[in-house]
Amino acid sequence: MGSIPIVSTTVNPTAVLLISCPDRQGIVAAVATWVASVGGNIVHAEQHTDDSDAMFFQRVEFTHSDSVSLQTLNDGFAAVAANWNMQFTLSELPRKPRTAILCSKHLHCVADLLARTTYGDLGLDVVAVVSNHDDASPLATSFGLPFYHVPVTDGTNARAEQEETLGNLLDALDVDLVVLARYMLVLPPALVQPWKGRMINIHHSFLPAFIGANPYRQAHDRGVKVIGATAHYVSDVLDEGPIIAQDVAAVSHRDNVADLTRKGRDLETVVLARAVRAHVEHRVLTFGNRTVVFG
Amino acid sequence: MGSIPIVSTTVNPTAVLLISCPDRQGIVAAVATWVASVGGNIVHAEQHTDDSDAMFFQRVEFTHSDSVSLQTLNDGFAAVAANWNMQFTLSELPRKPRTAILCSKHLHCVADLLARTTYGDLGLDVVAVVSNHDDASPLATSFGLPFYHVPVTDGTNARAEQEETLGNLLDALDVDLVVLARYMLVLPPALVQPWKGRMINIHHSFLPAFIGANPYRQAHDRGVKVIGATAHYVSDVLDEGPIIAQDVAAVSHRDNVADLTRKGRDLETVVLARAVRAHVEHRVLTFGNRTVVFG
Amino acid sequence: MGSIPIVSTTVNPTAVLLISCPDRQGIVAAVATWVASVGGNIVHAEQHTDDSDAMFFQRVEFTHSDSVSLQTLNDGFAAVAANWNMQFTLSELPRKPRTAILCSKHLHCVADLLARTTYGDLGLDVVAVVSNHDDASPLATSFGLPFYHVPVTDGTNARAEQEETLGNLLDALDVDLVVLARYMLVLPPALVQPWKGRMINIHHSFLPAFIGANPYRQAHDRGVKVIGATAHYVSDVLDEGPIIAQDVAAVSHRDNVADLTRKGRDLETVVLARAVRAHVEHRVLTFGNRTVVFG
Amino acid sequence: MGSIPIVSTTVNPTAVLLISCPDRQGIVAAVATWVASVGGNIVHAEQHTDDSDAMFFQRVEFTHSDSVSLQTLNDGFAAVAANWNMQFTLSELPRKPRTAILCSKHLHCVADLLARTTYGDLGLDVVAVVSNHDDASPLATSFGLPFYHVPVTDGTNARAEQEETLGNLLDALDVDLVVLARYMLVLPPALVQPWKGRMINIHHSFLPAFIGANPYRQAHDRGVKVIGATAHYVSDVLDEGPIIAQDVAAVSHRDNVADLTRKGRDLETVVLARAVRAHVEHRVLTFGNRTVVFG
């Protein structure tokens, strides 16, 4: 995704337009004409027409004069969008989203996300590590980040109280993105809905195989020769949200449950990072329960 | 699996011993001592101990003097096996199993198996192509093979009659191996049981995801980013037999159902061929619903 | 590549425009505007801007009224192309290219290409199988195709004479595409140049590793853990033409040269078929020694 | 690799025997008999016969009574080894090797190794992070590790002096293992030889393609469709040591050099970690320039 024009001496701002609308003749020309009309230069454009739903999707990355604000561009494109019945977002690139990372006892994903952020591989502004356990506390501290421990205590309403505390915390943190980096408690719809399209989970299986608990145990008992991991936006139904990224690894009879778990860790870290990066770079569009992931 | 001894000028016969038994101390020594006692030379040996079931599995490939018959070796090892509560098979290598290939309308798997047999990649003695449709007839003829058309006719008992005809045909063909190369009718238990461990099916999905009909449609609707294919021994429960081989391919939103189907074809042909080869080379042991597939 | 519009009852013709030109502002709009101006409907469009060379590439697949001929469209677009300093091709889709397949003694690639053509996976009009050996003769006959045996005979100019015969044969066959499906003789520049961009070779290694003869032997001796295969357009310099497709497979110390060769065969067949399909679907653009392979 | 016996209430010590010797009849029986003779129970055994070199390799993992010391076992096996002309090592499992990690400016590999060590994925006792640059200093501090900065200063003998300092430091640290985690200076033979078989490097390409500097630039210019990474023991000749692990990832024309570099980082971290784990678990045997990497 080489987005840096080579000839320019001063770098113009880059914006990303994400569009979805019913497929009609002339959309591409309309969008390209608008970009040209505001003096923009298209650096990358990818489009996709979904035949089964007759929907059109496009990602247009363009540079523009820094005398034109993003707000002006946004207002300008709104008229085009109205004509074509489009949903769209227009975003600056790069822009580091304020991010909360949630985890439980397994730390490989959160450690990986923090390391990538540190060495510049992921454009995140991580503002908090949050967990129902305290195992990640030293790690967060190592990376100079606040750690919030939100445990499930004893008592009849313990779980509901924990969820309320967590919800309030996420609100107070005012984040743009929530990453569930092996956070092992199921979230209730009330906690999920505000973050629709902005909450990414890693599931430690190749969904939809082995939905639910202990997928590596399930995979072992079924004797599969391939395991996988799935990163998806969180929806109301557990393990059912739109898939952003998946990857797999070969396994054999030699791998017991512990081995599958260990091999799965590598998959989980890489797949989650890949999904988060695609989201941060505005390359993901969702429709129904599916995604378009450009480039 | 380089099985050709380098120094010999005349090639000694090669036998393969497949063993499974409860794990105990001293098994490896007992087997190796027996092979040495009959003047055999171990060319390859692989073993596996399954921790969760405390079972031991071994494949021993050894050369032996051609003055000793396989029957003699078999009788000789029976005493060792009795001592250790072993199940075992002892087979010559190579030996081309008499094979029937069953298919329906999709011909990529059968075409691939026949091509591989022709150019020496698969050690099969294919004696028949069998189908409920007649699409494969010219292909079978091209490769000089008899084609048996066993259609489901009209009438109340049509399906049961077809199954009886098919069962009788397989018996009459006197085959060692039945390969379901995209045969799309579910087989009844009575047809499956006689071929336990000798009937291999290719399922066009990454089992256990997308069990049942139209898996590529299911995969498309779920929006997965990876598709797969699974070769397995057939058991009474459809899609539930021990998995021999699986493989996967990356897909994207650009792939409609037809694209997934096309990409899946490449997976199916390769995975089925891989499973058939492992079977022919006596590299597969089953236990419960799982397999050990050596080297 | 879902290219079938869903609502239409009569299917309009589909054309593919492949464009390359220096990158400038407004190209996408110009092309889209032209397509709209001739009543076309863009079904798929993909573009790529190569930063390092400041080049723009686009593939536009569009349906058009069957009252407009391809020639008319071609003439019409020529004016746009002149304005933007474009190179372009405009082709009907689907159109089966007249194809000659060349092979030597290894038949897996030619067998696979013929099988795929037969069951509709590859849109080729194969008109000849050509070889310097006669091993493929029965296979060609099975598939009802003429076989041309062009051996290298004894004598001082044997190789030059064989090349001349082969060149004349390819001319006489009047083919659009030449596929080197494990044809093991190096072709001289005079035989390669007329087929620039229309002659595809499969090289049995992951180029540029193990250039030249016996790559699986080379791979074994280097102890690599992954082998590969490479399909590329043929250029004057052996093994140096633009790469269309590559794939790889994991190997281990257990694989001797024969095993690598066998595993490599699966790679070669799949990679060559993938490259041929991309070519036939007008998805490949070359620039310098590289390719853009769309979707 | 399931190494935990299931029935035992107290866990017996586990030892690993790594053997290489000329192939002869009876080796497996001799080793198994010896293990049984000392009251050991074989948990895993893998063997490999290399046909081309007529060499035999074996890894035997066995539990033994804790009343028998490793030294006693070692002395006992020496007699067997002498009889069969074996080279062998006998090691306790698990045993965390004292490890120095060397890096330069790219921190993804060192960050990954430290994170894995922290969450228990890699059995290393990391005692130092060493670099010719100071970029890794905060990272080492985060993980509570000493950081040694060994820069190349100005001056005629700067490089030789740096190498001497580095060599002395590694000696003083008294480590068992040196991991070159993207350490970008070539080491002289005098620095490599003492660490033969105990110094692991990650090379950011699929060796032997793109040997030397800037492999991602080389890969881009050649237009490859797959990139790779290679972990190997360091030998005198740069990029030529025995390969322990390799992996690859698909790329396309869309990936510029920066994209290849980013995708390569994921490969490098995973491949290096995999190689280090195999080494730590005593699963790697070298012979000539190749390796046997068991299970």
What's the residue count for chain B?
295
| Lowest-confidence segment of B47-51, C29-33, D12-16 by average pLDDT | B47-51
CA quadruple A149, A152, A154, A160: dihedral, nearest 10: 130
Is residue D82 predicted with pLDDT exceeding 80?
A: yes
- The three-point CA angle A56-A58-A59 to 5° equals 165
The chains in contact with chain C, meaning 3 or more Cβ pairs closer than 8 Å, are A, B, D
Give the nearest chain D residue to C221 (CA atoms): D290
Residue of B57, B248, B289 lying closest to A248 (CB–CB)? B248
Per-residue pLDDT at C10: 53
**Catalytic site positions of D:** 239
pLDDT in tens, D220-261: 999 999 999 999 999 988 788 999 999 999 999 989 998 899
**Intervals of CATH 3.40.50.170 along chain A:** 98-293
Q: Do B224 and A246 touch (CB under 8 A)?
A: yes
The answer, for A198 touching chain C at a CB cutoff of 8 Å, is no
Is residue B274 predicted with pLDDT exceeding 60?
A: yes
Q: Do D46 and B50 touch (CB under 8 A)?
A: no
The chains in contact with chain B, meaning 3 or more Cβ pairs closer than 8 Å, are A, C, D
Greater pLDDT, B206 or D11: B206
The answer, for B45 touching chain D at a CB cutoff of 8 Å, is yes
Per-residue pLDDT at A10: 53
pLDDT in tens, C117-132: 987 789 999 999 999 9
pTM for this prediction: 0.87
Q: pLDDT averaged over chain D?
A: 91
Q: Do A119 and D112 touch (CB under 8 A)?
A: no
**A150 SS3 class:** coil
DSSP single-letter state for residue D265: H
Residue of C208, C223, C247 lying closest to D222 (CB–CB)? C208
**Cβ neighbours of A250 in C, within 8 Å:** 250
The answer, for A98 touching chain B at a CB cutoff of 8 Å, is no
Interface test with D, best of C210, C216, C225, C271 (most D CBs within 10 A): C225
The answer, for C222 touching chain D at a CB cutoff of 8 Å, is yes
- Helix D70-84 vs helix D27-37: angle between axes, to the nearest 10 degrees? 160
**Cβ neighbours of B209 in A, within 8 Å:** 206-209
Q: Do A295 and D254 touch (CB under 8 A)?
A: yes
Q: Name the CATH architecture for the domain at B14-93.
A: 2-Layer Sandwich (3.30)
Q: Do D29 and B32 touch (CB under 8 A)?
A: yes
**Cβ neighbours of B220 in A, within 8 Å:** 52
Q: Is C99 within 8 Å of C126 (Cβ atoms)? A: yes
- By percentage, how much of chain D surpasses pLDDT 70? 96
Q: Do D253 and C292 touch (CB under 8 A)?
A: yes
Q: What is the mean pLDDT of residues D40-58?
A: 86
Closest CA to A127 of A111, A138, A114: A114
Per-residue pLDDT at D5: 38
**Cβ neighbours of D249 in B, within 8 Å:** none
What radius of gyration do chain D's Cα atoms show?
21
Interatomic CA distance for residues A115 and B185, integer angstroms: 52
Instruction: Please count the other Cβ atoms lying within 10 Å of the Cβ belonging to residue C53.
Output: 13
Per-residue pLDDT at A5: 37
Say how far residue C237 (Cα) sits from the centre of its chain.
17
Q: Is D228 within 8 Å of D206 (Cβ atoms)? A: yes
Q: Is D25 within 8 Å of B36 (Cβ atoms)? A: yes
| Lowest-confidence segment of A56-60, C218-222, D44-48, D98-102 by average pLDDT | D44-48
The chains in contact with chain D, meaning 3 or more Cβ pairs closer than 8 Å, are A, B, C
Closest CA to C220 of D279, D243, D211: D243
CA quadruple B130, B132, B138, B143: dihedral, nearest 10: -20
Q: pLDDT averaged over chain A?
A: 91
Is residue A127 predicted with pLDDT exceeding 50?
A: yes
Pairing mode of beta strands A147-149, A125-131: parallel
DSSP single-letter state for residue D57: E
Options A239, A247, A259, A266, the catalytic residue: A239
pLDDT in tens, C50-59: 878 889 999 9
User: Active site includes C23?
Assistant: no
**Cβ neighbours of B252 in A, within 8 Å:** 293
Separation of first and last alpha carbons in chain D = 7
The answer, for D42 touching chain C at a CB cutoff of 8 Å, is no
Smallest CA–CA distance, residue B51 to chain D, in Å, is 6
**Cβ neighbours of C119 in B, within 8 Å:** 106-108, 111
Residues of chain C with pLDDT under 70: 1-11
**Cβ neighbours of C51 in D, within 8 Å:** 256
- Helix C70-84 vs helix C27-37: angle between axes, to the nearest 10 degrees? 150
Per-residue pLDDT at D10: 53
The answer, for B35 touching chain D at a CB cutoff of 8 Å, is yes
Is residue D122 predicted with pLDDT exceeding 80?
A: yes
CA quadruple D153, D154, D159, D164: dihedral, nearest 10: -50
Is residue A230 predicted with pLDDT exceeding 90?
A: yes
Greater pLDDT, B263 or C295: B263
Per-residue pLDDT at B120: 80
Residue of D4, D254, D265 lying closest to A121 (CB–CB)? D265
Q: In the C/D pair of chains, how many CB contacts fall below 8 A?
A: 93
Is residue B188 predicted with pLDDT exceeding 50?
A: yes
Interatomic CA distance for residues B133 and B107, integer angstroms: 11
Interatomic CA distance for residues A130 and A111, integer angstroms: 13
Closest CA to C101 of C77, C126, C78: C126
| ipTM of this complex prediction, to 2 decimal places | 0.89
pLDDT in tens, C59-73: 999 999 989 999 999
In angstroms, the Cα distances linking C181 to C50, C236, C282 are: 31, 18, 20
Q: Do C243 and D228 touch (CB under 8 A)?
A: no
Is residue D9 predicted with pLDDT exceeding 80?
A: no
Interatomic CA distance for residues A283 and A60, integer angstroms: 10
Interatomic CA distance for residues C234 and D79, integer angstroms: 60
Residue of A5, A26, A41 lying closest to C51 (CB–CB)? A5
When pLDDT is cut at 50, 70 and 90, the band that residue A147 belongs to is very high
Q: Which of residues 245-284 of B touch A (CB under 8 A)?
A: 245-248, 252-254, 256-257
Q: Is C206 within 8 Å of C226 (Cβ atoms)? A: yes
A98-293 belongs to CATH 3.30.1240.10 = no
Residue of C262, C270, C295 lying closest to B266 (CB–CB)? C270
Options B112, B239, B247, B259, the catalytic residue: B239
Q: Do D25 and B44 touch (CB under 8 A)?
A: no
Q: Do D253 and C225 touch (CB under 8 A)?
A: no
Interatomic CA distance for residues C174 and B81, integer angstroms: 67
Q: Do A248 and B253 touch (CB under 8 A)?
A: no
**Cβ neighbours of B253 in A, within 8 Å:** 48, 50, 57, 290-293
Q: Is C28 within 8 Å of A28 (Cβ atoms)? A: yes
**Cβ neighbours of D112 in A, within 8 Å:** 112, 115
**Intervals of CATH 3.30.70.260 along chain D:** 14-93
DSSP single-letter state for residue D66: T
